[in-house]
Structure 1
């Protein structure tokens, strides 16, 4: 009999519940549609941000052509 493998589990980013990472779980990495929508709402409300470095001005920006 082949050994059974335990499915990979991840933590739901919204509620912290353990979630099996399986193709049948269409909400992964979330545990439910509710947690998925809560996360989407947080992004829409700009509760999350991604840091970005300010670009330095390009040479063309400093000396525009006329």
Structure 2
């Protein structure tokens, strides 16, 4: 049987179907971890992709189906 440590509190967790919150030991530890990611206390190393994915809505092509210029 595989055992892992809870990423939040380091408690031993059995990696079985009945361990509902695996790899966490409890819902509380799962939510603590989620909060750490949401507040950006946890990050994945590497360059930020935010700038590369930014889309300027004014640079998008016009959709002719909805845009009819005045003649």
Structure-1-length-normalised TM-score: 0.68
Q: Which runs of 4+ in 1 moved over 4 A?
A: none
Gaps of 5+ in 2: 49-71
Structure 1 residue 53 displacement after superposition: 4.1
Deviations 1:17-47 (A, max 9, x none): 0000001111000000000000000000000
Structure-2-length-normalised TM-score: 0.63
Q: Supply the RMSD in Å over aligned alpha carbons.
A: 1.7
The alignment covers a number of residue pairs equal to: 49
* Structure 2 CA distance for aligned equivalents of residues 9 and 49 of structure 1: 25
SS at structure 1 position matched to 2:4: strand
Gaps of 5+ in 1: 1-6, 55-66
SS at structure 2 position matched to 1:31: coil
